[in-house]
Structure 1
Amino acid sequence: MAARVLIIDAQSERTEQLAQALAAAGFEVAGIVAESDDVHGAVKALKPDAILIDADSPSRDTLEGLAILGKRFPRPILMLSESTDTDLVRDAARLGISTYAVDGISPVLLRSLVEVTMAHFQNQRSLASELQEAQQALQDRRLIDKAKYRLVQEMHMTEEEAYHQLRRMAMERGMKIAELARLLAERGTAG
């Protein structure tokens, strides 16, 4: 099944050519939406795999709007523009635009750009998810260590005995050790 690309038209005269180039490159054009229309509603309704904005010279407002769109509906966003302003390119990257390319694109290059943009977006999301999981594991480890320390101090256990006690208590309650440690931290007691 072909990836579905939504084109957001920021009053460019080449948008229809882009739609044809996308189709020639093997993509399905999910729709063409004017920048002044309800872009958020269109993304929600059409559920595209990627978003391509065609803007002759994107404004800061356009970029800010795309940043909000990207946070609300995470999708790879590719921007085509005639502007080579390096500050604008940096702002686009900072605000979450996956790819910023200057106009003059053949169907073959467009296909490559969309595919790389989608792959890059997925890699970024995967890395963000892995980071979140690692942060949660670290937080859980800290809670378990605090609960063990509390048992060592209050019940004069060794660290190993405290860990086994926590494990036993968690099993008796049908909980994970980290969940028990969090509960104990909230109650302020180890018993």
Structure 2
Amino acid sequence: MSAPLSIIVVEADRDRALQIVDSLRSAGDFEIHVISEATSLSRQIQSLQPDIVLIDIENPSRDSLEELALASGPMERPVAMFVDRSEEGMSAAAIEAGVSAYVVDGMKPARLKPVLDAAIARFRMFQRMRTELAETKRALEERKVIDRAKGMVMKARGLTEDEAYALLRKTAMDQNKRVADVAQALVTAAGLLS
């Protein structure tokens, strides 16, 4: 059986915080922590390492919204933000700050669980996209280094492109390294010698 979902609720008003906790308890089995002071938010989140952060704020300014979102660690976990009112452009600013779900018109108990589920799903989707993008960038950089190393081997040894790659690959196998690592070492050494 899996552990209950850990949720931090950020709410300054005690009565609203109790209402949120009650709504969460009726929606499922959660480990809930309430933070009433946004000033210590980042430290407390680092300490508790929740699965999701739920922020309830009446009328956020752009600065407070970004501060709350960034303190919540939006790249590490889903952040759902509930606001009573929102000015023009605030939802876009929230999404840019990393908020997974930005809900205007306050928190309604019946919507709480579906919004949390959507925030978690959206966070996981973006996390996969960030991972794929990082892997693609790394592969592209490695490809550039390998191509550069091939060019150096072709020029120095008078080999064709296929022969140069075969030599890099054989060297990598002999040294129990990746072709990209051998290519990087060659490019670095050539840089030192020129």
TM-score with structure 2 setting the length: 0.89
* Match among 123, 130, 133 for residue 131 of structure 1: 133
Give 1:141's aligned residue.
Answer: 143
Matched with 2:123 is 121
Which residue identity does 2:37 align to in structure 1? Answer: E
Paired position in structure 2 for 1:152: 154
Separation in 2, partners of 1:67, 1:101: 14
1:60-88 C-alpha deviation (Å, 9 max, x unpaired): 33222234324486211111111132322
- 8 Å CA contact 1:7, 1:29 repeated in 2: no
* Aligned counterparts, 1:1-191, within 5 A: 1-11=3-13, 13-71=15-73, 74-188=76-190
Distance 1:177 1:118 in 2: 38
Cα displacement (A) at 1:11: 3.9
8 A Cα contact 2:9 2:53, kept in partner: yes
Over residues 13-64 of structure 1, what are the superposed CA-to-partner deviations in whole Å (9 max), with x where a residue is unaligned?
Answer: 5221111111111141421001344112211222211001111111233222
| Kept in 2: contact 1:19–1:29 (CA 8 A) | no
- Mean Cα displacement is larger for which, 64-73 or 155-164? 64-73
Aligned-pair identity in percent equals 30
Contact 1:78 1:117 in 2 (8 A): yes
Q: Is the 8 A contact 2:154 2:164 kept in 1?
A: yes
CA, structure 1 residues 53+72, in 2 after alignment: closer, same or farther (shift >3 Å)?
Answer: closer
Q: 1:74 to 1:123 in 2, by over 3 A?
A: same
Whether contact under 8 Å (1:5, 1:29) holds in the other structure is yes
Q: Is the 8 A contact 1:76 1:121 kept in 2?
A: yes
Q: Partners of 1:19 and 1:111 in 2: how far apart? A: 12
Tell which deviates more after alignment, 36-45 or 134-143: 36-45
Please tell me whether the aligned partners of residues 77 and 99 of structure 1 are also in contact (alpha carbons under 8 angstroms). Answer: yes
C-alpha distance in 2 between matches for 1:73 and 1:30:
21
Q: 1:12 to 1:96 in 2, by over 3 A?
A: farther
RMSD: 2.1
Q: 2:56·2:107 contact (CA, 8 Å) conserved in 1?
A: no
Quick check: 34-43 or 77-86, which moved more? 34-43
- The structural deviation recorded for 1:163 is 0.8
Which shows bigger deviation, 179-188 or 84-93?
84-93
* 3-state SS of 2:10 partner: strand
> Aligned partner of 1:108: which letter?
A
Which runs of no fewer than 5 residues in structure 1 stay unpaired?
none
Is the Cα contact below 8 Å between 1:148 and 1:166 reproduced in 2?
yes
